Structure 1
Amino acid sequence: MNDIDAIDRRILVVLQKDGRITNAELAAQVHLSASACHRRVQRLEQIGLIRNFAALLDRRKLSRATTVYVEITLSGQATELLEAFERAVRTIPDLLECHLMAGTADYLLKLAVEDTEDFARIHRQYLTRLPGVAQMHSSFALRTVVETTALRL
């Protein structure tokens, strides 16, 4: 983060809260001219600090209110097995995240599903068919206490 200054940080803080803010409003909030602000945002995109802009959807209104975390331990650590697993896991609908882990499980998956029946369907159709799985443990989130996409800058 040596490539950015305090103004860039302020821009990023505002954009994390409201990615649809107009350039004029953003410029006013960070005390820049509109053209200078636009150049800075473009530069932040070019250097990869701003990866994308996206809409955050209400999962409850889209019938995907249940969050399930699945810990998966593979039968081995061979590169071919890891690559096959990662290819297969990308095909799972409603998968929000998949992380290669250090610790007891090899992978941690986060899914957004309708309910336990929907998860049972995904488990039956996808999770049980993942290559190299030795052990799987699923946990259902009861309530979300904190959820954010914003990074501390």
Structure 2
Amino acid sequence: MDITLDELDKRILNALQTDASQTNQQLAERIHASPATCLRRVKRLTELGVITRQVALVAPEKVGSGLTAIVEVTLDHQGDEHQLAFEAVVANVAAVLQCYRVSPGPDFVLVVQVADMAAYHALAHQVFAAQKNVRNVKAYFSILRSKFETRIAV
């Protein structure tokens, strides 16, 4: 379904991506619209699925999850049912923050956030080694996050 966004919708989305904690009144002032219009537009964008959720971004190192791993996973069998089964496994693992089916190359790329290397090892054993259909796992460990952005240009 194509969704047409006008300039007001785009201003709302840009403002919320910068700070979703602002009140409707603050948002309305920031984007130069009435509070009622702003509230109606945000509700519409949410109902259309343009706004999927509003969250707080947490500094992982401040809460004991200082190790980020980017993990490539290749399956033995790549049929849709096998990919869905793997996705179901990782969907229930809190440390797996993101899971992407990719092509070409590995079948999946995961973004994993854990406390330390011991926690990664435990996760790798639980999620990768215990799955019969996982053929290959290649992990890259972040030594510095020089950019992190959640904002999408609209």
Go from structure 1 to structure 2 and tell me whether the alpha carbon gap of 1:4 and 1:58 turns closer, same or farther (over 3 Å shift): same
TM-score in terms of structure 2 length: 0.93
CA distance in 2, matches of 1:81, 1:149: 30
CA offset at residue 92 of structure 1?
Answer: 2.4
Offset of residue 104 of structure 1 = 1.1
Consecutive aligned runs of 4 or more in structure 1 exceeding 3 Å deviation? none
Q: Distance in 1 between matches of 2:84 and 2:50?
A: 28
The answer for the alignment partner of 2:70 in structure 1 is: 69
1:13-92 equivalences in 2 (<5 Å): 13-92=14-93
Distance in 2 (alpha carbons) for counterparts of 1:39 and 1:82: 39
Pairwise CA RMSD: 1.4
| C-alpha deviation, 1:2, in angstroms | 5.0
Letter in 2 for 1:60: E
Matched letter for residue 34 of structure 1: P
SS in structure 1 at match of 2:86: helix
Matched to 1:11, the amino acid is: I
**Identical columns (%):** 30
What does 1:97-116 correspond to in 2, within 5 Å? 97-116=98-117
TM-score using structure 1 length: 0.93
Q: Deviations over 1:67-115 (max 9, x none)?
A: 0011011112223322222222223231101111101101111110111
1:33-85 CA-partner distances (Å, limit 9, x unpaired): 11111111111111111111111112111111110011011112223322222
Alignment length (residue pairs): 153
Q: Could you say which residue in structure 1 is the equivalent of 2:149?
A: 148
Question: Using a 3 Å threshold, how does the CA distance of structure 1 residues 105 and 36 change in structure 2: closer, same or farther?
Answer: same
Asked if residue 95 in structure 1 is aligned to residue 96 in structure 2, the reply is yes
Letter in 1 for 2:18: K
The answer on whether the counterparts of 1:88 and 1:131 sit within 8 Å (CA) in structure 2 is no
**CA offset at residue 123 of structure 1?**
1.3
What is the identity, as a one-letter code, of the residue corresponding to 2:103?
A
